[in-house]
């Protein structure tokens, strides 16, 4: 008997327990005739399943009615926790997909390349960079904005034709996104605005670039905070 396999008799027993096979069926009778030791087991397991069902129904009822049991203190406790998490590690990558191990290796190499590139850029022109929020971007290199928000630039290593969504929001504090100011989808690696379009924007914005695959799924997101006076 393997712990990770069940044999045909055990599978039939499960089918009987789950009423996919009738208890009075010929198959069921043949099973207990062939293996009489399974008869008391079958009876016991029916009781076990009944009790688990009762316990599960109780849990479902608990979850369904939980709304009225929530206290102000619960919300405050959760708020403290979430705010702290977002402050310390703002963005565990949204809707991250499980990836095979080779992806982790590729991502590590990519991150090193991105880091080296960013260092070279910083060293080259000596300008202060925008403040990056969250984990190092997996798919995007740091972007830049023009002084008056008229130009946003980013790059996607290894992918010249990726479709991305640029989103610019007010800074709601601690890097959180506030009201949306602009949103555009493009295959380019930059987007320009006229000074008139951006003059009403606040002095600090949070902007992000999300890579969208052919199926319309998000495949990577990078977020940054920029200030008009940051450079």
Partner 1 sequence: MARDPLIQATSSEYAPADRALVGEALAGRAESVERLIARLACVPAMLRAKNEQLGQPLDARELDEVTQNTLGSLWSKLARYEGRSKLETWAFGFCVNEIFKALQQRRKPRALDLEFASSVRDREEDDREPDISVATIESSLARLPAESSDVIRARHFAERSFEDIAKEEGLPVNTVKARYYRGLTRLRDLLAPTWRRNML
Residues that bind partner 1 (CB under 8 A): 2-6, 10-11, 13-14, 17, 41, 44-45, 47-56, 58-60, 62-63, 66-67, 69-71, 73-75, 77-79, 81-82, 85-86, 90-96, 98, 133-134, 169, 172, 175-178, 206, 208, 218, 221, 223
- Residue 103: CB minimum distance to partner 1, A: 14
- Residue 66: CB minimum distance to partner 1, A: 5
Nearer to partner 1, 62 or 105 (CB): 62
Nearer to partner 1, 68 or 194 (CB): 68
Distance CA 181, CA 229 (A): 19
Q: DSSP letter string over 147-180? A: TTSSEEEEE-TT-SS-EEEEEEEEE-STT-EEEE
What is the DSSP-derived secondary structure letter of residue 95? T
- Residue 222: CB minimum distance to partner 1, A: 10
Nearer to partner 1, 79 or 148 (CB): 79
Nearer to partner 1, 53 or 187 (CB): 53
User: Which residues on neighbouring strands pair with residue 227, listed in sequence order?
Assistant: 204
| Helical residues (DSSP H) of 5-71, grouped into ranges | 8-17, 26-34, 38-64
Residue located via tokens 């608990």: 62
Distance CA 67, CA 69 (A): 5
- Residue 111: CB minimum distance to partner 1, A: 17
Nearer to partner 1, 54 or 161 (CB): 54
Nearer to partner 1, 9 or 148 (CB): 9
First to last CA, the chain: 70
- Residue 95: CB minimum distance to partner 1, A: 5
- Residue 37: CB minimum distance to partner 1, A: 12
- Residue 221: CB minimum distance to partner 1, A: 6
Residues 134, 123: contact at Cβ < 8 Å?
Answer: no
**Sign of dihedral through CA atoms 135, 173, 192, 152?**
negative
Residue located via tokens 């709601």: 172
Residues 229, 128: contact at Cβ < 8 Å?
Answer: no
| Helical residues (DSSP H) of 89-215, grouped into ranges | 101-125, 195-198
Nearer to partner 1, 94 or 116 (CB): 94
């Amino acid at each position: 008997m393997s712990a990770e396999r069940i044999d045909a008799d055990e599978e039939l027993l499960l089918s009987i327990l789950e009423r996919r096979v009738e208890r009075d069926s010929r198959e069921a009778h043949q099973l207990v005739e062939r293996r009489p030791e399974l008869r008391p087991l079958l009876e016991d397991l029916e009781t076990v399943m009944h009790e688990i069902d009762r316990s599960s129904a109780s849990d479902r009822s608990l979850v369904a009615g939980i709304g009225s049991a929530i206290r102000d203190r619960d919300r405050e406790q959760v708020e403290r926790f979430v705010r702290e998490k977002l402050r310390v590690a703002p963005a565990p990558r949204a809707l991250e997909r499980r990836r095979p191990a080779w992806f982790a290796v590729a991502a590590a190499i990519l991150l090193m390349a991105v880091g080296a590139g960013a260092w070279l850029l910083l060293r080259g022109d000596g300008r202060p960079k925008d403040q990056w929020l969250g984990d190092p971007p997996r798919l995007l290199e740091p972007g830049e904005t023009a002084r008056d928000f008229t130009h946003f630039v980013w790059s996607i290593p290894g992918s010249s034709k990726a479709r991305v969504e640029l989103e610019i929001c007010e800074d709601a504090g601690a890097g959180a996104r506030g009201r949306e100011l602009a949103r555009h989808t493009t295959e380019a690696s930059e987007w320009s605005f006229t000074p008139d379009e951006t003059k009403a924007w606040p002095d600090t914005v949070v902007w992000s670039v999300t890579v969208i695959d052919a199926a319309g799924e998000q495949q990577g997101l990078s977020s940054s905070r920029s200030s008009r006076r940051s450079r």
